[in-house]
Amino acid sequence: MPERRSNEARSTMTRQDGASLRFVEVKPDRDKIHLVLDGEWTIENAAAIERDIDEAMRRINGHPFDVVGDGIDKLDTSGAFLLKKLAKGDTQTHLAEKQRTVLEFLPDYSEYTPPKQEKQPVAVSVLSGVGERTYVGLDFLWEIFEFIGRIALCFFSNLAHPSRFRLPSIVRHIQETGINALPIIGLLAVLITMVITYQGAMQLRMFGADVFTIDLTVISLLRELGVLVTAIMVAGRSGSAFAAEIGVMQLREEVSALRTIGLSPIEVLVLPRVIALVIVLPLLAFLADLIGLAGGGLMSLSLLDISFTQYLSRVEDVATPTMFFVGMIKAPVFAFAIAVIGCYQGMKVSGSAESVGRRTTLAVVQGIFVVIMVDGIFSIVFQKAEI
């Protein structure tokens, strides 16, 4: 805004000259000082006016003064506020009628005092912070198990009335979390196996054992990576979507509306999502396995000069049903964890748009964390069971 800038520039200039200020002119008289006001007292000039007032006050240095304000061209509420601040108490003011109406329109001037916040000593606030976080963490554990319990209750009571499972909703979520995710998960599976095959081939070549690259690829893909990569992708894609969808519904009071209609949000919103994801994630993981194997074949062809038929027969030798099922059995567990955490965080949204963002982030972070943690637990169990 060029106009405002020039006004300010001018007021700075005149102040440096020590001569008259642009908005407030100090005119000493015999017994009293007159402050003659000038210019447009609007919000655009408010910062300059405020500086001029401070400067004028400094020059007056506590002497009694009166305010001559009928030279003001234009007065808005911000200008009127500054005028009131200048002429507080029983200072005499000379104003024209139109300025007086603006001034009278404004509520009485009083400084805004920010609400007092009780300050605690650092030691206390650190300790209480630790305690608070511990309680929040314990609450979270308690609440998430309660949430799982309610989902289970709803699931088992629905078994008696299968029509309450809301097939259309489940199908929609299968479409959104499964079918729409196919391209990205396929691409990711190919890329991951390519990287493993390449790295494996480079290292194993040093021992002349590059044929075992295929073993490495197949075992790591089927046992771990296929399902893990899929689960992480789904946690990022769908866990966040669940949290955001339910969160915004929570903000717009759609969830409360559901309750008042006599429906349980668990049944209508949470259960279809959980069921859909539990169905979809094993399928996606299976597909990631297949596409990953294809990617491995491609890399073997170009890096190891192994033909596709040779590659397939090697895969047949290495892969066992146990290996495949060890991977696949994790998929529904991961799916359950991701869906429950996503929906839980969505239900916990309250108040502001910021809360949607925070809860969505939590849904993804906790989802991926739990997936990796559960994967570790599975590894230990399988190792003890010698599978």
Partner 1 sequence: MKKLIEVKGVTVGFGSQIVADQINLVLYENEALALVGGSGSGKSTLLRTMLGLVSPKSGEILIEGHNLFALPHEERVNLQKKWGVSFQNGGLFSGLTVLDNVAFPMREHTNLAPRTIDTLASLKLRMVGLDEQAANKFPSALSGGMATRAAVARAMALDPEMLFLDEPTSGLDPVSAGSIDELMRSLRRSLRLSILIITHDPNTIASVCDRIAMIVDKKVETGTLDEMLNSTNPKVREFFDNVRVQAALCERG
Q: Which residues bind partner 1 (CB under 8 A)?
A: 1, 42-44, 46-47, 50, 76-78, 81, 98, 101-102, 104-107, 109-115, 251, 350-354
Residue with Cβ nearer partner 1 (33 or 106): 106
| CB 110, min distance to partner 1, A | 8
- The DSSP secondary-structure symbol of 118 reads P
| CB 58, min distance to partner 1, A | 16
Burial of 379 (0-12, 13-18, 19+ CB in 10 A): middle
For residue 240, give the nearest of 370, 346, 355, 143 by alpha carbon. Answer: 346
Residue with Cβ nearer partner 1 (263 or 353): 353
Q: What is the largest CA-CA distance in the chain?
A: 111
Instruction: Give the other-Cβ count within 10 Å of 163's Cβ.
Output: 7
At residue 108, what are phi and psi to the nearest 5 degrees?
-60, 145
Strand order across the 33-37 sheet: 24-28, 33-37, 65-68, 93-94
Q: How far apart are CA 278 and CA 280, in angstroms?
A: 6
Residue with Cβ nearer partner 1 (257 or 377): 257
Residue with Cβ nearer partner 1 (72 or 196): 72
| CB 382, min distance to partner 1, A | 46
Which sign does the torsion angle of CA 329, 335, 340, 342 carry? positive
Residue with Cβ nearer partner 1 (33 or 43): 43
| CB 26, min distance to partner 1, A | 21
Give residue 192's identity as a one-letter amino acid code.
I
Residue with Cβ nearer partner 1 (115 or 162): 115
| CB 140, min distance to partner 1, A | 22
| CB 65, min distance to partner 1, A | 21
Residue with Cβ nearer partner 1 (55 or 289): 55
Q: How far apart are CA 292 and CA 136, in angstroms?
A: 41
Q: How many CA atoms lie within 13 A of 11 on its CB side?
A: 25
| CB 81, min distance to partner 1, A | 6
